Structure 1
Amino acid sequence: MDRELPEGLFGAGVVGAPMAGGPSRPPLAEAVSASGGLGFLAGGYKAPDALAREVDELSATGLAFGVNLFVPADEPVDREAVLAYRERLRPLAERLGVELPEPRWADDDAYPAKLAHLLERRPAVVSFTFALPPAGDVASLRRAGVFVLQTVTSPDEARAAEELGVDGVVAQHAAAGGHFGAFLPAPAFAGPLPELVAAVRAAVGIPVLAAGGIGTAEAARAVRAAGAGAVQLGTAFLRTPEAGTNPVQRAALADPSFERTAQTRAFSGKTARGLENSFMREYADAPAGYPTVHYLTAPLRAAAVAAGDAQGTNLWAGTAWKEAREEPAADVVARFAV
């Protein structure tokens, strides 16, 4: 018999997606949870102590919430390609007056410390993205009473996650904004999100959440009808006052001159979807190499944000970005609630 989501924890059936890099700050997570959804903190790119402080801040509210961790993936990096990309970026860096850093080849080596903080603090939910965590980490969290989720992009990934022992999976469609969480070498699921949800639901006996391109209540109803126990929304929250979305991205989301989203490796070395801008077009052939490319382009992106230049920084957004509104997070939860 298929398991269902814990009663009460996902009450409104709305999850605030963990968006690393600023948007998913404590005020947004608190607002989502206080409105009957489940707010999330994003652990990606944060120092362990900074993440611990945010968890402590949110824990003090007494609300249930989740925390997401990027799992370091042992992916080969073509060093020569990354170094050549660095040289291609050098003229832009000189125009902006910034220094390109030496390549940082290691992944997020702070993962063990972040996990230790979460085992000590025991948030209601911990989710993993980019790769499967060690089985021992999942078992330790579950013994601590934490509900464990894994981001998957296909039925095969869902089966692997279930075998690992997680409590549920987030079925992420390629329409999602930000980084694509695939960890098995296979083409992206070809059908729409409801079909992905149905396929994942048929493949596993654990709860399935849906993510990617959900911009309307009708879209949310469609994925719930396909078997999703809850919807995970990211882009829908980016224009809320509680989100830590930088002003350049916030303005771009409402700018009619942006006509489409596209997937790119130009900013981070890992496939991610955002509003298509000139940086993405110019460096469409950027090499794979996460997080090396992410750290390499960081000063360029920071300079673009400082200058108010939406053409020179990542503008992560899903395909339904035009549906995102400038409204309180509570209103977003209400629009998409069960």
Structure 2
Amino acid sequence: MQTPLTGLGLPLPLIAAPMAGGPSTPAFVSAAARAGALGFLAAGYKTPEALAEQIAAVRDVPFGVNVFAPNPLPVDPEAFRRYARSLQPEADRYGLDLAGAEPVEDDDHWQDKIDLLLADPVPVVSFTFGLPDRALVARLRAAGTVVVQTVTALPEALAAAERGVDALAVQSAGAGAHSGTLTPAAPPASVPLADLVAGIGRRVPLPIFAAGGMGTAQDVAAVLRAGAAAAMVGTVLLRADESGASAPHRAALADPAGMQTVVTRAFTGRPARGLRNRFVAAHDADAPLGYPAVHHLTAPLRRAAAAAGDTDTIHLWAGTGFRHATEGPVGAILTRLAADT
């Protein structure tokens, strides 16, 4: 089967998923490529200048770049202010003022990042949260870039195909961090990943990269049997040597006490799966929908808590297969996951 990965000369049907906020370092991406998989840089939350530096650092290997496409979820201003006031006791512990915050709505430097990727093309670009228009997809493809769209349901897959993308990253509800759903106020129902892949594959004639909750070689083999061209894994790599995940995040994933994962909007105003800690338990019910406004509101608190090693207050993104995350080189983990392919 010819897929976008075929042209990159990568022998493993595996992709190291983009993980914004630090885990997907250039060393992480390069290690994935050396193991025979495709690694993704995460453009989310980076300045265009920082993204350009990371791209330059991985130019000697096949790689991709993931971009958050604009699909704003505007926050209700009064709901935002109520939530900000409710978080002030959390902020007081770190000398922060959140109670007086006003909503910040931005597009994560969208146009500047697109300009960069058109001026200095990369092998693969994937989009999450929103759909690029047909003209942009055509320009990227004309520049030699493979274009991938993250989808979570059949209607999204059909819409992405209509835009002319080369492949789909089909993400199930078991995936860690933000859901790639195009309708965050009404996310799709949970469907097992293999069933989701098979259902979309029957209707959309594009290669599928399956993502969500995988942690074993058996999980990978199952989605390949369902019709996926590759398995995209993220959480299982968070504790790898080359990962940029924070020390508290790594520790929480390895904690034998074993928190469970839940989908929450408490940290960012957009549905995201992570470990259920004290902050989620205390604030999820009151958190408004609103991305990126809620993300910007809680970001200073999360940074301060991470620096203090406070796992009760930071976001601990994790998919349902998080208990399979182990220490060791990225290459060794990916090789283990490919054992049954």
Normalised TM-score (structure 1): 0.96
Q: CA contact under 8 A between 1:67 and 1:125: conserved in structure 2?
A: yes
Residues 212-255 of structure 1: CA deviation (Å, up to 9, x unaligned): 00111001100000000000000011000101000000111100
Matched with 2:92 is 94
- Greater CA deviation, 66-75 or 17-26? 66-75
Matched position secondary structure for 2:91: helix
Matched with 2:294 is 293
Matched with 2:47 is 47
Check if 1:106 corresponds to 2:101: no
2:301 counterpart letter in structure 1: L
Counterpart mapping for 1:122-161 below 5 A: 122-161=121-160
Q: CA contact under 8 A between 2:179 and 2:272: conserved in structure 1?
A: yes
Q: Over the residues paired in the alignment, what is the CA RMSD in angstroms?
A: 1.5
Shift of 1:109: 4.6
Matched with 2:260 is 260
Shift of 1:308: 1.1
Q: CA contact under 8 A between 1:179 and 1:273: conserved in structure 2?
A: yes
CA distance in 2, matches of 1:334, 1:254: 21
Matched with 2:163 is 164
Q: CA contact under 8 A between 1:107 and 1:291: conserved in structure 2?
A: yes
Q: CA contact under 8 A between 1:268 and 1:291: conserved in structure 2?
A: yes
Shift of 1:114: 0.5
Q: CA contact under 8 A between 1:173 and 1:189: conserved in structure 2?
A: no
Check if 1:246 corresponds to 2:242: no
Q: CA contact under 8 A between 2:177 and 2:318: conserved in structure 1?
A: yes
CA distance in 2, matches of 1:116, 1:11: 31
CA distance in 2, matches of 1:276, 1:23: 20
Matched with 1:26 is 26
Q: CA contact under 8 A between 1:153 and 1:189: conserved in structure 2?
A: no
Matched with 2:330 is 329
Q: CA contact under 8 A between 2:63 and 2:124: conserved in structure 1?
A: yes
CA distance in 1, matches of 2:220, 2:212: 10
Matched with 1:210 is 210
Matched with 1:70 is 68
- Greater CA deviation, 88-97 or 217-226? 88-97
Matched position secondary structure for 2:87: helix
- Greater CA deviation, 91-100 or 50-59? 91-100
How many residues align structurally?
335
Q: CA contact under 8 A between 1:73 and 1:107: conserved in structure 2?
A: no
* Structure 1 residues not aligned, in runs of 5+: none
Residues 155-174 of structure 1: CA deviation (Å, up to 9, x unaligned): 11100000000000000001
2:36 counterpart letter in structure 1: G
Q: CA contact under 8 A between 2:72 and 2:291: conserved in structure 1?
A: no
1:95 counterpart letter in structure 2: R
CA distance in 1, matches of 2:247, 2:108: 30
CA distance in 2, matches of 1:11, 1:107: 39
Q: CA contact under 8 A between 2:74 and 2:105: conserved in structure 1?
A: no
Shift of 1:26: 0.5
1:157 counterpart letter in structure 2: E
Q: CA contact under 8 A between 2:150 and 2:169: conserved in structure 1?
A: yes
Shift of 1:299: 1.4
Shift of 1:57: 1.3
Q: CA contact under 8 A between 1:240 and 1:325: conserved in structure 2?
A: yes
CA distance in 1, matches of 2:182, 2:229: 23
Shift of 1:6: 4.2
* Structure 2 residues not aligned, in runs of 5+: none
1:289 counterpart letter in structure 2: G
Q: CA contact under 8 A between 2:237 and 2:330: conserved in structure 1?
A: yes
Mark the CA change 1:187 to 1:305 in structure 2 (over 3 Å): closer, same or farther: closer
Q: CA contact under 8 A between 2:67 and 2:128: conserved in structure 1?
A: yes
Residues 35-58 of structure 1: CA deviation (Å, up to 9, x unaligned): 100011000000011101111111
Report the identity percentage: 47
Residues 100-129 of structure 1: CA deviation (Å, up to 9, x unaligned): 273343222511111111112211100000
Check if 1:313 corresponds to 2:314: yes
Residues 307-328 of structure 1: CA deviation (Å, up to 9, x unaligned): 1111110000100100111110
CA distance in 1, matches of 2:27, 2:96: 32
